[in-house]
Amino acid sequence: MTNHFPQDTFSGNTFSKDSFLMSLPKPTKMKAATYSKYGPPIVVGIQEVPVPEIKDHEVLIRIRAASVSSGDWRARSLSLPKGFGLLGRLIFGITGPRKPILGTELSGEVIDTGKDVTEFVVGDQVIAFADTELGCHAEYRAFDQNGLITKKPANLSFEHTAALSFGGTTALNFLRDKANVQQGEKVLIIGASGSVGSAAVQIGKYLGAEVTGVCSTRNLDIVRELGADHVIDYTQEDVTKLGEKYDVILNCNAEINIRQYETILNANGRLVLVLGSFAQAIGFDRMSRKARKAGKRIIGGVATAKRRDIELLAHLAANLQFTPVIEHVYPFSDIMCAHAAVESGHKRGNVIVKM
C-alpha cells in the first residue's frame, strides 16, 4: 500500500514522511502489559500508563512487535533454576516486581528524538534489545541512541525482527565469546528448537562448526531446515549413548547431569550451560577429576550483549543467514495467551505480540 502525505497548499511541495510524523501530536498515554505480583500468566494485564518522556540522548519508539521470552516467563513467575530463588527476588524485586512492564526486545519506528540524538531520525525503523531493563511490552519505549539498538533490515517484517535479539545475542555470547567455537569443531546443541537453541544452530553454522541438534520428534524438520548437519530425537535416543563425541556441548534446557555429558566431550571440550542449577553455576557440581585432567571444562554465567552484536544479527538476517523461528504471533490484547505458550515449555522458536 502506498503511503500518502498531505500537500503543502502554500508551496505545492509534498511533506516528507519525517516531517509528517514530527507534525503529529505526541502521545501522552499508552497501553502496557503490567504485573504487580509474581504468578501465572493471569497476573499480566493491559493498563493505561504515561508514555515515557525522552531525555536529550534518547529516541521514542512506537513499538510494532515484541517477543515474549523465557526471560519474561521467569521474571513474571519467579520459576528459576534450582537454587536461584533468593537471587531472583534480589534481582526482580523481593516482595513484588521492581519493573512492572516486561519485554526484552522490540521492533518499531522512531517517532521522536532528543536534542542530542544524531544516530537516528524520526521515521527510522529500528530493532532494540532492552535485556534486563525490560519495558518492551508497551506501545512506546524510550531508548538511548547509544544502547543496543540498530536500524531494522528493510526486507524483514516487524514480527521477525522483534525476535532477533534475545536468542541471537545469547547464542553469540555463549558460542563465540565464552566457548570460542572454531571452524570445523563439533557442536552439540541440547534444546535446539527453542528461542536460544534455534538461534544457536544458525550461529554455530555461521562460525563454521559441524552442528548436531537435539530436539523432540515434531521439531526435527525445522532444526534440519535451520542448517543442522545432524539431528537427534531425544524421545527415541539418548545422545550420551550413541558413541559420538563433541568439542562443545551447549545446553539450552534445564539442569543436566554433568557427569553423564562429560563422557561425550572430546579432550579440551567445553560444556556450556545457558541454564543450570545454582550449584553448577558456582562450581559445586562439577566434572570428575579425570575429565578435568583431560582439559574438559564447564562454562556458565550470564549472557551479555553489545551494540555490534545487534548490528551483526541484523546484517545476518538481512542476508538470510539468520532467520528467527516464530511459532505464534498474538495480538497485544492476548499477551496473557503468549505468556501461557512460553510457560508450556514446548514452544518452537519465539512467541511474538503484535501491537
Q: pLDDT tens digits, residue range 104-138?
A: 999 999 999 999 999 999 999 999 999 999 999 99
**34 plus 100 within the same structural domain:** yes
Do 153 and 174 lie in one domain? The reply is no
Domain co-membership, 143 together with 23: yes
Minimum mean pLDDT range among 16-30, 88-102, 110-124, 264-278:
16-30
Domain count, the chain: 2
Is residue 23 domain-shared with residue 160, that is, in the same domain?
yes
Between vectors from CA 236 to CA 262 and to CA 240, what angle results, nearest 5°?
Answer: 10
Arithmetic mean of pLDDT, 246-255: 90
CATH of the domain at 186: 3.40.50.720
Of 282, 299, 316, the one marking the end of a domain is 299
**pLDDT (0 to 100) of residue 277:** 62
Q: Are 229 and 153 in the same domain? A: no
Is the pLDDT reported for residue 172 higher than 70?
yes
Residues 203 and 125 in one domain: no
What is d(CA 57, CA 54) in angstroms, rounded to the nearest whole number?
A: 8
pLDDT band at residue 18, thresholds of 50, 70 and 90?
low
Q: Is residue 1 part of a domain?
A: no
Do 92 and 138 lie in a common domain?
yes
Return mean pLDDT, the chain. 90
- Please check whether residue 7 lies inside any domain of the structure: no
The whole-angstrom separation of Cα 240 and Cα 257 is 10
Quote the CA–CA distance of 193 and 57 in Å, as a whole number: 38
Within the chain, how many helices (H) and strands (E) appear?
Answer: 12, 15
Give the DSSP letter of residue 173.
I
pLDDT average, residue stretch 78-103: 82
Within-domain flag for 196: yes
Asked whether residue 31 falls in the same domain as residue 68, the answer is: yes
Residues 174 and 118 grouped into a single domain: no
The residue behind cell 519485554 is 103
pLDDT, residue 14, reads 43
Query: Residue 50 falls within a domain, yes or no?
Result: yes
Is residue 333 predicted with pLDDT exceeding 50?
yes
> How high is the pLDDT of residue 301?
83
Residue with cell 540524538: 117
- Is 90 a residue whose pLDDT tops 60? yes
Residue of 192 and 3 predicted with greater confidence: 192
The answer on 222 and 136 residing in a single domain is no
27 with 102, same domain?
A: yes
Q: Do residues 32 and 153 both lie within one domain? A: yes
Prediction pTM value: 0.88
Residue 182 or residue 347, greater confidence: 182
Phi, psi of 25 (to 5 degrees): -65, 140
Q: Could you tell me what percent of the chain has a pLDDT over 90?
A: 77
Task: Tell me whether residue 115 is in a domain.
Answer: yes
More confident call, 345 vs 108: 108
Q: What b/e string do you get for 187-223 counting C-beta neighbours within 10 Å, with b at 16 or more?
A: bbbbbbbbbbbbbbbbbbbbbebbbbbbbbeebbebb
Cα–Cα distance between 85 and 79 in angstroms, integer? 8
Range of 211's domain?
A: 166-299
Pairing assessment for the beta strands 105-113 and 246-251 based on DSSP bridges: unpaired
Question: Which of 120-129, 251-260, 305-314 is predicted with the least confidence, judged by mean pLDDT?
Answer: 251-260
Q: By the 8 A CB rule, do 127 and 150 touch?
A: yes
